[in-house]
Structure 1
Amino acid sequence: MTLLKCATHVVSDLDDAITRYESWMDYRTVEQGEVSHDLAAAWNAPASGGRRFAVLQPASRAEVFLRFVEGDPVPDYVPIRTYGWAAIELCVTNVEAVNERMLQSPFEVIGPPKPLDGFATVKPMQVRGADLETVYLTEILQPGPDSGLPQPQSLVDRPFIMVLACPDLRKSAQWVKDVLGLPMIDPVAIRYSMIEKAFGLPETAKTELTTARGAGQVFLELDQYPDAATKRPRHEGALPPGVAITTMLYPDFARLEGHWASAPVVREGAIYGGKRTGVLLTPEGALLEVVEGGEI
């Protein structure tokens, strides 16, 4: 089981994004509508109220979703250069087959399949979509409880890790431990091609990262970003561009008292399922939406 529930990305053309993910990632739309003004206020993004959204589910029917919310492009936004949620990582059964598909698709392959330095359990690739979304597509080489990784059930399956770009990795990791009470590995330093390319770093550069587990599976990755990284630009009152929100399950709302940026209320829909849902802010100011449920 995973505590991860949804990754939300801002898109300029909702219909185009739906077509892209249904046609090339085999996702299907399970909910559409307009963002309620109450929900937008909970995100501290009142200008996103009334904007169209869609929730998509992977072909495996796993109840871990992608949500797209329409928003106006931010001219100064460059992916993998700012703090906050940096990327969506989807698990796949065969990364080489996915790569062949992506080469024929509207997605740009920005990182072909290759082993990940220091992690023999996975083989990722990376693509970028028309809305500057960075998507990691990762084959799980060693699924199971020991690795904390899922066994994908469709060629392109669910989001399984969300990546948070941090100005101070240890501060953010301590926040995850203190607020959420989740176990994290000690930081490790690896060659990280996406960060190398984004910041023009030498091949000898190393990036520190750490991961958090919940319900037995890894679902959060925290990356230490270089000093050249900046706060993410955004339109006033709107969701930030790129990956705007990570939504997770969490069973112990009493533990989160005193930490809420938006107090829990009951919400309906594919993501919330009639459960209490509140919003936390990470030390970077990234939105972490929390739905009551799951098991640590």
Structure 2
Amino acid sequence: MLKEIAVVTITVSNLAQVEEAWQEHFAYTTVASGTISSELAEHWQAPRMAGDDYVLMQPANDAPAYVRLIKDPAVAGYRPMTSHGWNATELLVSDTDAVAAGMVDSAFDVIGAPRPLWDAPDAPRVMQALGPGNELLYLTTNNQAKAGLGLDDSMPLVERPFIMVAGGASMEAFRAFYVDTLGLTMSEPAPFRITMISKANDLPLDTTYPLSVVNLSPGYLLEVDELPAALGPRAVSNGRLPSGIAVVGMTADTLAGGLDWVSLPQTLDELPYGGREVGLLRGPGGELIEVIVTPAKTSSSDAATPHTPADTQ
């Protein structure tokens, strides 16, 4: 059902600083700005977000993928990887080492230096960073994903979000939702060292966590992590979105029946929806998912799914 990652909505306390950093270091452009409409806030079941300042940003090559940043002072105390829900955004980059070099003495904090995901010449090269809004980013050079998305060597240094990372209490609940309910395929869970979780929660770095990958369209994945029992749902203020990565919008050819909608599908005219029908679901980790009905495209690529974003993240 779910196909491509279309828009990632992140709440931040320092909107102007985050926008400037993404413009300077990622060459993202601001394609829309203003305040959140009452219609959109109601669609999110977050009426108190209405009137909050936002910017909508897009990669330099005008890829059909967006990052929406919303100003929310309550986010100041949020720490990624310490609660259920969306925890990290993985961006496809053309040169991980160049991205890291550009972050020296910047608003970004490199918390995982560039390195190969496994020992092979063509292995994806990964790094991790915290942005100025405390947004957790994985930045990855991945030739399989690049091919799956139809990109060539002209792609910009930092391109689109191609993997989203969610955490929750139960891998079985993730499977029931993404496989049984949404009809997607998902890898068998396997134990991995996920250092970002361990560091954020003061756990031994060799701690392992069950991890599975949910397959979307070629080039796109979801990573789902089973978190320790001590970590619970993200605190959400009444009438507002979750702190950090709040909502992820993904395209779908059609809307499946029998779904338990948080908000029933409706037509949304503003960017990035452009008059498409959009419904809102909640996953088992509390992750909010916008389902954006988008006509199927003919693709010439049957590229393999990209890496399992595991051991070094």
TM-score by length of 2: 0.87
Shift of 1:251: 1.4
CA distance in 2 between partners of 1:191 and 1:150 (Å) = 31
After superposition, the Cα gap between the structure-2 partners of 1:118 and 1:191, relative to the gap in structure 1 and judged at 3 Å, is: farther
CA distance in 1 between partners of 2:95 and 2:88 (Å) = 20
Shift of 1:130: 2.2
Equivalent in the alignment of 1:187: 189
Question: Aligned runs of 1:89-100 on 2, under 5 Å?
Answer: 89-100=90-101
Equivalent in the alignment of 1:209: 211
Residue segments in structure 1 that go unaligned for 5+ positions in a row: none
| 8 Å CA contact retained: 2:28, 2:59 | yes
Shift of 1:12: 1.6
| 8 Å CA contact retained: 1:107, 1:130 | yes
Equivalent in the alignment of 1:28: 29
Task: After superposition, give the CA deviation of every residue in 1:74-100 in whole Å (9 maximum; x if it has no partner).
Answer: 465322100000011101011011110
CA distance in 2 between partners of 1:54 and 1:231 (Å) = 27
Equivalent AA in structure 1 for residue 156 of structure 2: S
Shift of 1:258: 3.6
Equivalent in the alignment of 1:289: 290
Task: After superposition, give the CA deviation of every residue in 1:118-152 in whole Å (9 maximum; x if it has no partner).
Answer: 9974221111122211111111144467xx67747
1:73 partner SS: helix
CA distance in 1 between partners of 2:22 and 2:115 (Å) = 23
Shift of 1:284: 2.1
Equivalent in the alignment of 1:269: 270
Matched, 1:227 2:229: yes
| 8 Å CA contact retained: 1:2, 1:217 | no
231-240 or 155-164, which deviates more = 231-240
CA distance in 1 between partners of 2:257 and 2:50 (Å) = 26
CA distance in 1 between partners of 2:119 and 2:250 (Å) = 27
The count of residues paired between Structure 1 and Structure 2 equals 293
Equivalent in the alignment of 1:166: 168
Shift of 1:173: 2.3
Matched, 1:237 2:229: no
2:186 partner SS: coil
CA distance in 1 between partners of 2:249 and 2:266 (Å) = 15
Task: After superposition, give the CA deviation of every residue in 1:241-288 in whole Å (9 maximum; x if it has no partner).
Answer: 1000000001121x1444211011111233212100110011122210
1:4 partner SS: strand
| 8 Å CA contact retained: 1:44, 1:237 | yes
CA distance in 2 between partners of 1:20 and 1:214 (Å) = 29
| 8 Å CA contact retained: 1:74, 1:235 | no
Shift of 1:202: 2.1
Shift of 1:228: 2.1
1:266 partner SS: strand
Task: After superposition, give the CA deviation of every residue in 1:1-37 in whole Å (9 maximum; x if it has no partner).
Answer: 9511011100123222211110111100011121111
| 8 Å CA contact retained: 1:140, 1:149 | no
Shift of 1:174: 2.1
Equivalent in the alignment of 1:17: 18
Equivalent in the alignment of 1:135: 137
| 8 Å CA contact retained: 1:180, 1:256 | no
CA distance in 1 between partners of 2:248 and 2:97 (Å) = 28
CA distance in 2 between partners of 1:149 and 1:164 (Å) = 22
| 8 Å CA contact retained: 1:77, 1:233 | no
CA distance in 2 between partners of 1:131 and 1:166 (Å) = 23
Q: Which runs of 4+ in 1 moved over 3 A?
A: 117-121, 141-145, 148-152
| 8 Å CA contact retained: 1:95, 1:113 | yes
TM-score by length of 1: 0.91
Equivalent AA in structure 2 for residue 123 of structure 1: R
After superposition, the Cα gap between the structure-2 partners of 1:144 and 1:126, relative to the gap in structure 1 and judged at 3 Å, is: closer
Residue segments in structure 2 that go unaligned for 5+ positions in a row: 298-313
| 8 Å CA contact retained: 2:134, 2:244 | yes
Shift of 1:215: 2.4
After superposition, the Cα gap between the structure-2 partners of 1:151 and 1:210, relative to the gap in structure 1 and judged at 3 Å, is: farther
Equivalent AA in structure 1 for residue 89 of structure 2: I
| 8 Å CA contact retained: 2:75, 2:244 | no
CA distance in 2 between partners of 1:192 and 1:14 (Å) = 29
